[in-house]
Every structure is written in structure tokens, then in C-alpha cells.
Structure 1
């Protein structure tokens, strides 16, 4: 049987592969953040803010919401589903507001805020590049 070498093989562009790898790295971090918040909820780690029953009400609300949403964001990002980045954005915006705008209540965690901003900038760069690349191919 002869092989037809003239048949084009469709392969994803390098930028598509890099974007998928980026989403999966962010997904892994989302799952880690989710585990971090679940550890707080079930009280494995000693300390006043590390047990749900001893947390102030604002920490209880934030921990419950983020413990539920971060794993969902991680799953969506890992599957490269369109809703994954949306859920991640909700989680990131929540933590930025917590640790930046409401720092007297939640404390300052500048590294978390900076990491969310960095991920958002990289994501925007990928999406912009993909948009212009697909527009160029279409034209």
C-alpha cells in the first residue's frame, strides 16, 4: 500500500500548544490553592485561622467560596474548556480584593496578588496573539 505524502497533516500551531500548556500549569496551581483552602476548612493545620470553627465569619465565607471554586477552575482549565478561565478570574478577583482592597481584614498577600495579575497578563497576551493569528489565517 502506497502512502500519500501530498496529503496535508493538520497540526496545532506552536502558540496553541504553548497556550494549552500554560492553562494546565495554571490548572495545577488552582488545584493546589483549592487544597490549601480545604485544609483550612477541615482543620488539619493548627492555628486560629486554620480551623473553620475558630475563623472569623469573613474568613469562613471566603474559604468556603474559594475551596469550592478553585478546584472547579482547575478542572475547567485542565480541560481547556471555555468556562475554566472565567471561574479562575472569579477566584483571582476574589483573592485580589481580599488581599489588596480588604487587607485590614484578610492581611496582605502581595505575592498572591502579583501572581494573579501576572497570570492574567500572560493569558491576555496568549488570547491576543491567538486572535491575530486566526484573523491572519482567515484573511
Structure 2
């Protein structure tokens, strides 16, 4: 069974999620898709040397893993599924570790990682705000 954020839960978000949260999740999904396509372009050699030829076997393996995982996370976040957010977090952590461990991992990887981490923090803050608002006594 999949936990979906669109399931009815009157205690937390009512019958429907707020429109701004759906838009925020869709923008995050598009950003994830662009990140995955960035890694695929790097693997195919659009930016010069192919990402499969740079570095030891660990670096190309990490690039392929991130290219696939960011696209999978994009689908999950677009569907507003909990597993999509988990994939996003795991992909961002993997990317951060790859940058820290592997020399010359990817161009702009540090900037992309910072944006991913900030976006995850914003998404968590928005969800926390929704839970806070739902637990307050309602004025009738």
C-alpha cells in the first residue's frame, strides 16, 4: 500500500491539499527532472568528456545512480507520493557524499546540492506548517 499525500486526512490537510503546496511540489519535481537530465547529459558527454570515462569506476557508477534516482524521485514528487520525497532525500544525500568523496565529480554539483537541500527544507517547513495549522483549534 502506498502512502499518498492526496489521501483524505481531515486531521492534517482536509479533503484537498492547498493549491500552493501542489504547485510547490510540481516545481520541485521539475527541478528533479532537470537534475536527472543534467546527469544524463554529463554521462553522454554533452559537456565535453563523457561522465563514464572520467575517474575510477566509482564516479561513473555514482553518476548513473544519480541520473536514474533523480528521475524516479521526480515521478514520485509529481504524484505527491511519500516515496518520492524519500527518494529525493536519498538522492540528495548520495549526491552530497559523492561530491565530498570523489574528486572532480561534476560541474555545478555543489550548487545543485545546495539548492536540493534548501528545497527539501522548504518542503519540510511547509508540511510542518500545515500540520501546525491543522492542530490549532478552528475559529467558527
Q: Name the TM-score class by shorter chain.
A: 0.7 to 0.9
Aligned to 2:120: 120
| Mapping for residues 43-122 of structure 1, pairs under 5 Å | 43=45, 45=46, 47-48=48-49, 50-52=50-52, 54-56=53-55, 57-99=57-99, 101-102=100-101, 104=103, 106=105, 109-122=109-122
Does 2:137 align with 1:129?
Answer: no
Task: Tell me whether 19-28 or 105-114 shows the greater mean CA deviation.
Answer: 105-114
Q: Number of aligned pairs?
A: 123
Could you say if the C-alpha distance between residues 42 and 104 of structure 1 is closer, same or farther in structure 2, counting changes exceeding 3 Å?
closer
| TM-score, length basis structure 1 | 0.75
Does 2:32 align with 1:33?
Answer: no
Aligned to 2:5: none
Higher relative contact order (CA 8 A, sep 6+): 2
SS of aligned partner of 2:43: helix
Contact 2:51–2:60 (CA under 8 A) maintained in structure 1: no
More helix by percentage: 1
5+ long unaligned stretches in structure 1: 1-9
Task: Tell me whether 86-95 or 102-111 shows the greater mean CA deviation.
Answer: 102-111
| TM-score, length basis structure 2 | 0.74
Q: CA deviation at 1:137?
A: 6.0
Aligned to 1:24: 26
SS of aligned partner of 1:71: helix
Q: CA deviation at 1:51?
A: 4.2
